[in-house]
Structure 1
Amino acid sequence: MTAARIPDLPQPRALLFDWDNTLVDSWSTIHHALTVTFEAMGRTPWTLEETRAQVRRSAREAFPELFGPRAEEATRLFYEAFERDHLTHLRERQGVGAMLAELAATDGLILGVVSNKTGRFLRAEAESLGWTPLFHRLVGATDAPRDKPARDPVDLALAESGLVAGPDVWFVGDTDIDLLCAVTAGCTPVLIREDPPAAGEFPGHEPAAHAPDAATFLDLLRRR
């Protein structure tokens, strides 16, 4: 399987990655924590498929809409359940560790993470996988004044790198929120997921390139 790309895709000086379900597989843990939360709130839990479709924003952004005046309580319950399980069930997506090692060894290329996972959980997971030294900075939800899709976490991820957000910074993720964040910050949006983008799926924030997996993303970079 080959990656789609446009001829003038800019050479990257930095790669900013989403975390959940871009670099690691975390749907089962997120779904379990949401199920615990929904049940405690007296709500019917989402199915796994609904969780995959609905989860985009951070809890800070999404829970007030979902749970209204009980958002603070729901947030506490969600993170209590998540913290119990997230390191036990943490798995890298296929080929990601090797991909990151090769990218981190590339001269002149900076790696970072911009995630809507709470920062302390994000950094604990990176440490557990042995990936922390590979990244210039790991930015999670609540680390910046606003979370994705605002540009604040992108600017924080690049702080003290000598770079600013622009086309030579690729933002790589698997959801519309990632692509929208890339466009909002002026970065190059790259979609990494098995399914290619459907026509009209990302209006106004279409990916500049698509790769179905880590190996194909590496091939895309090598052919620059």
Structure 2
Amino acid sequence: MAEPRLATPHLILFDWHGTLVDTHDAMFSAMEEMLPQLEDLGLVEELLPESECKTADDAKLVRYIRIFRRLHPQILAERRVSRTDIFNAIFGDNTDAKQVAHEAYNACYRRHFGEVKPFQDGLAEYLGAIRAAGIQLGVATNRNREFLDHELEIVDGGRWQSLFNVTICAGDVTAYKPDPEVLLNAAHAAGLEAGPNVWYVGDSTVDMVTGKNAPVTAVFFNGGQWEPSYIERRFAGDPDHRPDAIAASFEELTDLIDAALPEGSGAQSALADNRPAPYPGPKPPEPRIEPDWHPSVVNLARPRTLLFDWHATLVDTLDAMYHAVDDMLPELKGMGLMDNVIEPEEARSPEDARLVEYVRDHAQLHPKVRADRKISRTDIFEVLFGEDAEAKARAHEVFTHHYRKHFGTAKAFEPQVRNLLVALNRLPLRLGVITNRDREFFEEELRRVDGDDWSGFFELTICGDDVSQRKPHPDQLLLAAERLGESSDGGIWYVGDSTTDVIAAARAGQTAVFFNGAQWDLRWLNTIFPGNEKYPYKPDVVVNDFSEFWALVLACME
């Protein structure tokens, strides 16, 4: 790849994770343990407003973490984004919030670190060749000293310990990257001043910002094998921090170093003499498998009426919902309802079986369910009680009692939901809401979505306590069709985020639009919608966000 000529390196500093080593398992385990703590840490309100995010990707990440308190599934699947980049995306320039987040992360990482491997084959040989050319090497990382020293001691059998002249960690400086202190101190420890003859090689946007802040020569190590369009997008709004060069492997990095050394010099000869035969670079991640019920391939009836679920479709009320479920489950035994919980072997899937077993044993949700925040209260009751309508009705009553202590203002699930409803009201469509929420809560939330009254958007609303049987029974959807004076058929679309919503729509003969706000992948969608004899119901279409839904509506109306 053609690259500009860089300044001759006297010192090359490397980021650690994602550049020299792969510690993804421990890193992502620690992140998934830390993010559910955001509320207790007081960091939810510190999340960057989506309107202030640098890119659309960052805005989606902030939204997902705000709602679900975990990483977006695509980030988990691809495993290409660093912890530091995540914190900078979601907290922006809020150094106090990032400091709290880093400290909480370190506490979690302490329970997971220890497994570390070279990021690609041949690293010891490449680093040895660079050293032979008379170039000092160092590590400059946000990792704590206790973690780096241990990982450096064990990686590649300990062969790397003699290769580095200097290592500077987060605990050695007063601020985390992108503050340049870590690079300035590393250069000083090597007897140099920070400048173009010091290179910083890192895999993240934050590394490049740090390098430019120093300022040193910033080389983006594309170990994640990002597409050129992604890299361009990351730096499009920040040209001052663009990398000076990009290398997708240590073979390419060694080419950059060779080109920067004086032609015919002893350093260039030493590099050539010690350079190993080319090793293969890092492989790109396996692509995430998207749902196959995509709007582009389905054939749906033209919509006359759009009915929406409320929670986790139009609005986010997850905090209140999960607090109420946490309060309710310990009371099941005293009410005699634990005897009504199905046996694990009767569950639809192994995941449901584990939820059932955990609730039976501990009278609370499994920690993974609480961390994921992706399953609705109604789906929880469906998993626990199966077809026992009386047990579910009693559970809903207890939930309602506790929800009264927690509910309040709802937040739009996506920033553009209100604009979507405005636009839909301009079309020849009728809009309504079908929710298992009791009316006392729903009407209050409807009047207070992000401080705004949404009641004027909907021609009708049907709540859980308006009928004798809540979803997944079709009663609410059938009542909606009756009140609208319409046939209950495919011309009525019901848009919801749960298996319960899909079942109710299918039983009512209406079009089931599954709103995949939780970003389930195809494997999981096939798990929750197996389409077998016992669980035959599947959505007619899956949309991942409301921009897809808007395009789908327009296409079907044409």
> What band does the TM-score fall into relative to the shorter chain?
0.7 to 0.9
Match of 2:234 among 201, 205, 215: 201
Matched, 1:56 2:84: yes
Whole-angstrom CA distance in 2 between matches of 1:133 and 1:208: 28
TM-score normalised by structure 1 residue count? 0.82
Secondary structure of the structure 1 residue equivalent to 2:240: coil
1:5 alignment partner AA? E
Shift of 1:150: 1.3
Matched, 1:217 2:253: yes
Shift of 1:80: 4.1
Whole-angstrom CA distance in 2 between matches of 1:50 and 1:206: 23
Whole-angstrom CA distance in 1 between matches of 2:27 and 2:95: 16
Task: Show the 5 A alignment for 1:118-157.
Answer: 118-129=144-155, 130=158, 131-157=160-186
Shift of 1:98: 2.1
Matched, 1:32 2:60: no
- Structure 1, gaps ≥5 residues long: none
Is contact 2:18–2:82 with CA below 8 Å preserved after alignment? Answer: no
Task: Show the 5 A alignment for 1:36-185.
Answer: 36-40=33-37, 44-47=69-72, 49-50=74-75, 52-53=80-81, 55-56=83-84, 71=100, 75-76=103-104, 78-88=105-115, 90-95=116-121, 96-107=123-134, 109-129=135-155, 130=158, 131-185=160-214
Secondary structure of the structure 2 residue equivalent to 1:204: helix
1:163-198 C-alpha deviation (Å, 9 max, x unpaired): 110001111111111111111111011111123463
- Structure 2, gaps ≥5 residues long: 40-67, 261-558
TM-score normalised by structure 2 residue count? 0.35
1:19 alignment partner AA? W
Secondary structure of the structure 1 residue equivalent to 2:141: strand
RMSD: 3.2
Cα pair distance change 1:141/1:4, threshold 3 Å: farther
Whole-angstrom CA distance in 1 between matches of 2:114 and 2:195: 34
Is contact 1:4–1:210 with CA below 8 Å preserved after alignment? Answer: no
Is contact 2:144–2:170 with CA below 8 Å preserved after alignment? Answer: yes
Shift of 1:40: 4.9
Whole-angstrom CA distance in 2 between matches of 1:53 and 1:16: 20
Secondary structure of the structure 2 residue equivalent to 1:15: strand
Secondary structure of the structure 1 residue equivalent to 2:169: strand
Which position in structure 1 is the counterpart of 2:554? none
Whole-angstrom CA distance in 1 between matches of 2:233 and 2:103: 33
Shift of 1:97: 2.4
More helix by share: 2
Q: Which moved more, 1:208-217 or 1:157-166?
A: 157-166
More strand by share: 1
1:130-186 C-alpha deviation (Å, 9 max, x unpaired): 222211111111211222111211121122422110001111111111111111111
1:73-114 C-alpha deviation (Å, 9 max, x unpaired): x835x33442233212x111113222212222222x111111
Shift of 1:39: 3.6
2:126 alignment partner AA? M
Is contact 1:114–1:153 with CA below 8 Å preserved after alignment? Answer: yes
Whole-angstrom CA distance in 1 between matches of 2:37 and 2:205: 29
Whole-angstrom CA distance in 1 between matches of 2:244 and 2:95: 32
Is contact 2:85–2:204 with CA below 8 Å preserved after alignment? Answer: no
Q: Which moved more, 1:42-51 or 1:200-209?
A: 42-51
Is contact 2:166–2:189 with CA below 8 Å preserved after alignment? Answer: no
Cα pair distance change 1:49/1:205, threshold 3 Å: same
Cα pair distance change 1:87/1:12, threshold 3 Å: same
1:142 alignment partner AA? G
Which position in structure 2 is the counterpart of 1:21? 18
Cα pair distance change 1:46/1:187, threshold 3 Å: same
1:97 alignment partner AA? A
Whole-angstrom CA distance in 2 between matches of 1:178 and 1:216: 18
Higher relative contact order (CA 8 A, sep 6+): 1
Whole-angstrom CA distance in 2 between matches of 1:104 and 1:48: 40
Secondary structure of the structure 1 residue equivalent to 2:34: helix
Larger radius of gyration: 2
Report percent identity of matched pairs: 27
Whole-angstrom CA distance in 2 between matches of 1:54 and 1:121: 16
Cα pair distance change 1:222/1:144, threshold 3 Å: same
Is contact 1:141–1:147 with CA below 8 Å preserved after alignment? Answer: yes
